[in-house]
């Protein structure tokens, strides 16, 4: 059980997924584009308002992420969860949720820090990068939820087909016994 924590999942491929994920680089590219587009003239924008609203959103996303994983785990049956765990899908799924929740907390804390100081262009762009990264990471969580739903549907279909085959085999066996009598 101790081998199944966040840092174990991070070591078992989570760090690789973070460093090779599109969300990290796309959010960095977008933040750099904003910095380049505004050409250092961010003073004409209401940056405090942007930071304050973004902190509110990232705090809300933390609650949504934690609630989402709790609902998914609670509504999944044990057989399906065992299958996911055996295929190492469940560990990857948990890592994505945990990482995104931690990222959301980091964005919230950094945003609170930035809004409490007289921040400059660099601090704002760093916050913007983190916030955009969070938004894209949440989109990855949503994709994984959809993927999990599709897998659950596939497993349900296989279970239903197995029942149909079993019922058909029992019907065939009963028919053979009746013909023999």
Please report the DSSP string for 89-104 in residue order.
Answer: HHHHHHHHHHHHHHHH
pLDDT digits (tens, 9 = 90+) for 18-71: 777 788 889 889 888 877 877 666 666 667 777 888 888 888 888 888 887 787
With a cut of 70, say whether residue 134 has pLDDT above it.
yes
pLDDT band at 2 (very low <50, low <70, confident <90, very high): very low
How would residue 1 be classed by pLDDT, with cut points 50, 70 and 90?
very low
DSSP H or E stretch at residue 142: helix 121-180
Structure confidence at residue 116 (pLDDT): 82
CA distance linking residue 160 with residue 70, whole number of Å: 27
| Whether 104 contacts 31, CB under 8 Å | no
Phi first, then psi, for residue 70 (nearest 5°) are -65, -45
Q: Mean per-residue pLDDT for 132-151?
A: 84
Helices (H), 39-120: 47-75, 78-86, 89-116
- Work out the mean pLDDT of the chain and round it to a whole number: 78
When pLDDT is averaged across residues 121-135 and rounded to a whole number, the result is 88
- What is the number of residues in the chain? 181
CA atoms of 73 and 105, how far apart (whole Å): 22
Structure tokens at 107: 């964005």
- Tens digit of each residue's pLDDT (9 = 90 or more) over 59-102: 888 888 888 778 777 767 777 777 777 777 777 788 888 888 88
Tokens of 40: 């250092």
Picking from 87, 118, 106, 91, the residue whose alpha carbon sits closest to that of residue 7 is 91
Question: What is the model's pLDDT at position 130?
Answer: 92
Report residue 158's pLDDT band, with 50, 70 and 90 as the boundaries: confident
Determine the distance from the C-alpha atom of residue 93 to the mean position of all C-alpha atoms in its chain, rounded to a whole number.
7
- 76: helix, coil or strand? coil
Across 133-137, average pLDDT: 91
Q: Which helix (H) or strand (E) holds 162?
A: helix 121-180
């Amino acid at each position: 059980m101790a081998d199944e924590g966040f840092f174990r999942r991070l070591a078992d491929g989570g760090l690789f997924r973070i460093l090779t994920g599109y969300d990290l680089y796309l959010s960095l590219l977008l933040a750099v584009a904003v910095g380049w587009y505004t050409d250092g003239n961010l003073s004409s924008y209401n940056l405090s308002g942007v930071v304050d609203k973004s902190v509110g959103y990232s705090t809300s996303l933390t609650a949504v992420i934690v609630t989402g994983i709790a609902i998914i785990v609670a509504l999944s049956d044990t057989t399906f969860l065992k299958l996911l765990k055996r295929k190492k899908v469940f560990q990857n799924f948990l890592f994505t949720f945990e990482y995104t929740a931690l990222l959301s907390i980091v964005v919230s804390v950094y945003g609170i820090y930035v809004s409490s100081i007289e921040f400059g262009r660099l601090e704002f762009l760093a916050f913007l990068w983190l916030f955009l990264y969070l938004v894209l990471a949440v989109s990855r969580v949503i994709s994984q939820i959809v993927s999990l739903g599709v897998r659950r549907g596939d497993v349900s279909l296989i279970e239903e087909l197995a029942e149909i085959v079993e019922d058909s085999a029992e019907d065939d066996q009963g028919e053979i016994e009746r013909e023999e009598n």
